[in-house]
Amino acid sequence: MPSTSRRPRALRLLLGLVAALGVLVLVAAGGFLVWANVGVMDAEEAPYAAVLEDPGIVARSSREALVLLPGDATASSPEGNGAPTAPAMGLVFYPGAKVEAEAYAARLSSLVTEHEVAVVIVRPALHLALFDRRGLSTFTDLVPEAGTWMVGGHSMGGVRACQVAAEADALILFGSYCATDLSGTDLPVLSLGGSEDGLSTPQKIADARPLLPADAELVEIPGASHASFGDYGPQSGDGTPTIDDGAMTAEVTQQISGLMTDLALT
C-alpha cells in the first residue's frame, strides 16, 4: 500500500500538470485569436464607395452582415438608409478567409440593381467562415420578404456555404469547392473558377467535382485569379489575372442570372 506521505506529492504533481496544460491552452487560444485578426484583407475603397453611391442600392450594415437591397437609396425611410423594394429572392454570401465583407459588394452589386436580388454578405466569426456556426436563418431573417434563397461563398466561404446548402434553394461557389458530399442531392449548383487561380486551382476544383450533384454546372472564367472574385488586392500564392474588374463583374452576373433562369426564379 502506498504511503500517505507520497499522496500529497503526487497530488501536487498532478495539479501542476493540469495548471501547465491550462496555460498552454490559453496561450494557444490567444495565439489563434491574434492570428485570426492579423492580416485581414481590407476591401478596396473605390469599388465599395461606388456601391454606396449607387442610387439603385440600399446598403445596411450590422455586426451580422452587410445587406445590399434593391431600391432607391435617395428616398427616405424610417431607418434613414433609403427605401428598398421587397425582393423575391436573396443570396447569402460567405467571404473568403480573412477578407472583409465589403470586398464583395461591387462584384455582387449588379445582382441587386439588374435582378433585384437581396445580397447578404456575412461577417463571419473571427473572419473565418468555417468557425461561424450560425445557421442560414440568422442571415435570411435579415430580409424576411425574400422567399427563395441561394447560398454562396468564395474560397473558405464556399466550403462553409456547402455545409449549409441543404437550407437553401441553390448553391454558388466562387473559386471554391465542397468538403461536404452533396452528390446525392438535387440541389442546383453553379461553380465559378478562374483559369489563373493559384489557390483553388482548376485541378483542385475538378478533383472535388464528385462531391457535387451530377448536373452541377462548372464554369472556368478565362483570365480570372483567386482574388478576381473580390476587391481586396493581390493575394499571396495566387496567379496573375488578365481580366479586369468590370468584365469580371459582368461575367459573374451573367452566370448567376443564368442559374436563376434555370431555377425559374425570374
- Judgement on whether residues 1 and 91 belong to the same structural domain of the protein: no
- Judgement on whether residues 70 and 141 belong to the same structural domain of the protein: yes
- Judgement on whether residues 52 and 34 belong to the same structural domain of the protein: no
The predicted pLDDT at position 219 comes to: 98
One-letter amino acid identity for 75? A
- Judgement on whether residues 129 and 5 belong to the same structural domain of the protein: no
The predicted pLDDT at position 73 comes to: 77
CA dist., res. 169 & res. 250, Å (int): 23
The predicted pLDDT at position 3 comes to: 52
CA 246 from chain center: how many Å?
21
Q: Give this prediction's pTM.
A: 0.86
- Judgement on whether residues 241 and 176 belong to the same structural domain of the protein: yes
- Judgement on whether residues 84 and 7 belong to the same structural domain of the protein: no
- Judgement on whether residues 164 and 190 belong to the same structural domain of the protein: yes
CA dist., res. 169 & res. 262, Å (int): 12
One-letter amino acid identity for 166? A
CA proximity to 57, closest of 129, 117, 126, 144:
117
Q: Is 221 helix (H, G, I), strand (E, B) or coil?
A: strand
- Judgement on whether residues 89 and 205 belong to the same structural domain of the protein: yes
- Judgement on whether residues 29 and 84 belong to the same structural domain of the protein: no
**Residue 219 parent element (H or E):** strand 217-221
The predicted pLDDT at position 260 comes to: 94
| Rg, the chain, Cα only | 22
With a CB cutoff of 8 Å and minimum separation 6, the contacts of 48 are 102, 103, 105, 106, 231
With a CB cutoff of 8 Å and minimum separation 6, the contacts of 140 are 90, 92, 120, 146, 149
- Judgement on whether residues 162 and 32 belong to the same structural domain of the protein: no
Domain hosting 30: range is: 1-38
> Strands, E, within 106-216: which ranges?
117-122, 148-154, 170-174, 189-194
> Strands, E, within 13-169: which ranges?
57-61, 65-72, 83-84, 89-94, 117-122, 148-154
- Judgement on whether residues 148 and 21 belong to the same structural domain of the protein: no
Cell digits of residue 233: 488586392
- Judgement on whether residues 9 and 131 belong to the same structural domain of the protein: no
How far lies 211's CA from each of 37, 167, 180, 207, 218, in Å?
Answer: 32, 17, 7, 9, 13
Contact, 197 vs 241, CB < 8 A? no
How far lies 25's CA from each of 11, 133, 134, 222, 230, in Å?
Answer: 21, 22, 25, 46, 35
Helix axis angle, 105-115 to 245-262, nearest 10°: 50
Look up the CATH number of the domain holding residue 89.
3.40.50.1820
pLDDT, one tens digit for every residue, the chain (266 residues) = 455 556 677 666 666 666 565 554 444 334 334 334 458 999 999 999 999 999 999 999 999 999 999 998 788 777 677 888 889 999 999 999 999 999 999 999 999 999 999 999 999 999 999 999 999 999 999 999 999 999 999 999 999 999 999 999 999 999 999 999 999 999 999 999 999 999 999 999 999 999 999 999 999 999 999 999 999 999 999 999 999 999 999 999 999 999 999 876 54
Domain count, the chain: 2
